[in-house]
Structure 1
Amino acid sequence: MSAKIAVAGATGRLGRHVVGVLTERGHEVVQMSRATGVDLVTGDGLAEALVGVSVVIDVASWHASEQEAAAEFFRTSAARLHEYGQAAGVARIAAASIIGADRATTGFVAAKKVHEELLLAGPLPVRILRAAQFHEFVGQLLDWQPGGTAYIPALPTQLVACRTVAETLVDLALDDTVAVGPIPEIAGPRRESMAAAAALLGSRRCIEVISVDGSYLPDADLAAQGAFLPSAHARLAGPTFEAWLATQR
């Protein structure tokens, strides 16, 4: 049965996949982003966008990693979606988060913890999906270090494809029979090193990847201990990073 679904952050990395999955499944999609005239900070265009919408899928994100700026964005966006969504008669909000957000103490992941808490405290029912780092994130790490050499932390990860996250999030958002339980998680099929994954991509780009310990990163000790790896109840789904990379230009 088709429905009218709004996607906050529709033009972002994950949002584009969510829109694609919904469209393929025959749903009417309202794309919400600044590019489409909807601002989650000011509320501009939000009331109009949510007319007739049954579910909001929130994959909007902040463009930088600084904790407080990201947390302030999430505070505001959560409040706006609840306020305008309740007024429009939206049934629920489904949102993407990050595995380990509940354990984070600093950095962007800690800002996602604030996001989760504020969404869950609002008047509308909320479902959250925690995801591992995306396959696409590896390329971003290389992009941040222009030149022929990149220093990438050898921290454990269980990379997952954006498309896989989008499919799982849409399932969670639209299933009327979801049982109460732990916040669901989605991750890739196997554990690997971020540096090793980056080296695979780096070889394609003629970039030398040098593995470093990552101790300079927020919550590096927690990451090294596996705090941001999937828990026992997580859904694990392919493709692996290597298989996914083989499909990319």
Structure 2
Amino acid sequence: MRMVVAGGTGLVGKLVVEEARKAGHEVVVISRSRGVDLTTGAGLDEALRGADVVIDVSNIETLSGKKATGFFETVTRNLRAAEERAGVKHHVLLSIIGVDRVEWGYYQAKLNQERVALAGPVPATVLRAAQFHEFALQSLTRMGGPIAVVPSMLSQPVAAREVAAELVRLAAGDPVGMAPEIAGPEPLRMADLVRKVSRRCGPRKWVLGFPMPGRAGRAMATGGNLPTGPGLRGRQTFDEWLNELR
């Protein structure tokens, strides 16, 4: 099967590419470094020629809900239009557990992206995942200085590689709309995970769990990012992942 991975040079994208190739699929990577611009559509028709399925794990790093909405909606509409022209049969989108319960700008942008993807002319599958184990390391190193400010969040973190493998499995099958959510083995506090990473491999910082304001903050702190029903549960614990870092 010919799989196109949008955002295939990012954290999850690289793992999706690896898992797809491991499963014997032909893989095409979409990224600006490969001459394809998802925000303008430049290069998309060539990249999607002969494709069976597109896996979209593209992302934007921003705290602005407006910017996130503009990015995700534009990218998804460009992909869907190019898919229809190319005769692609399946669109697979990675999303986040809790986007329908946590009223935060970025999450609302992802929720809107889900709607655009599912309403398009090409049948789609949406996989909502919990925060990755790697999110704790990113939170620690995102900003310089001696303090790492982390949202007060209760999550059920999952290994990014396990999410990548599930995306590939779903892509190889028939479209299902909303797929069962994937999360890790156990609920954990994000600030505690960041502290563990700091102690284990540095940089050593004072980790401050900061309650985000309003309903979004309350939802994050009280389980809005936890899975709500039966679904896939990753096998690798956070501590097992942490032990692999060094």
Give the distance between the partners of 2:13 and 2:215, measured in 1 at CA: 26
Map of 2:202 onto structure 1:
205
List gaps (5 residues or longer) in structure 2.
none
Moved more, 155-164 or 200-209: 200-209
- Flag the 1:209–1:216 CA change in 2: closer, same or farther, 3 A: farther
Cα deviation per residue 1:43-85 (whole Å; 9 max; x = unaligned)? 1110000111000001011132311111111111111111110
- Flag the 1:245–1:167 CA change in 2: closer, same or farther, 3 A: same
* Alignment of 1:24 onto 2:49: no
| Count of matched residue positions in the alignment of Structure 1 and Structure 2 | 245
- Flag the 1:44–1:17 CA change in 2: closer, same or farther, 3 A: same
Secondary structure at the residue paired with 1:39? Answer: coil
Map of 2:188 onto structure 1:
192
List gaps (5 residues or longer) in structure 1.
none
Map of 2:224 onto structure 1:
227
Using structure 2 for the length normalisation, give the TM-score.
0.94
Amino acid at match of 1:232: G
Secondary structure at the residue paired with 2:92? Answer: strand
C-alpha contact (below 8 Å) 1:157/1:194 kept by paired residues = yes
Amino acid at match of 2:19: V
* Alignment of 1:45 onto 2:40: no
Give the distance between the partners of 2:136 and 2:48, measured in 1 at CA: 34
Please point out which of 127, 130, 135 is paired with 1:129. 127
Q: How does 1:174-189 map to 2 (within 5 A)?
A: 174-176=172-174, 183-189=179-185
- Flag the 1:19–1:144 CA change in 2: closer, same or farther, 3 A: same
Moved more, 5-14 or 217-226: 217-226
Give the distance between the partners of 1:108 and 1:215, measured in 2 at CA: 14
- Flag the 1:211–1:184 CA change in 2: closer, same or farther, 3 A: same
Give the distance between the partners of 2:88 and 2:146, measured in 1 at CA: 49
C-alpha contact (below 8 Å) 1:5/1:54 kept by paired residues = yes
Secondary structure at the residue paired with 1:26? Answer: coil
Q: How does 1:83-232 map to 2 (within 5 A)?
A: 83-176=81-174, 183-203=179-199, 204-216=201-213, 219-232=216-229
Cα deviation per residue 1:2-44 (whole Å; 9 max; x = unaligned)? x111000000111000000011111110000111111111111
Deviation at 1:217, TM superposition (A): 8.1
Identity %: 40
Give the distance between the partners of 2:214 and 2:164, measured in 1 at CA: 27
Give the distance between the partners of 1:41 and 1:215, measured in 2 at CA: 30
Amino acid at match of 1:89: G
Moved more, 33-42 or 139-148: 139-148
Please point out which of 6, 9, 14 is paired with 1:8. 6
Deviation at 1:210, TM superposition (A): 3.1
Cα RMSD over matched residues?
1.7
C-alpha contact (below 8 Å) 2:7/2:57 kept by paired residues = yes
Deviation at 1:240, TM superposition (A): 1.0
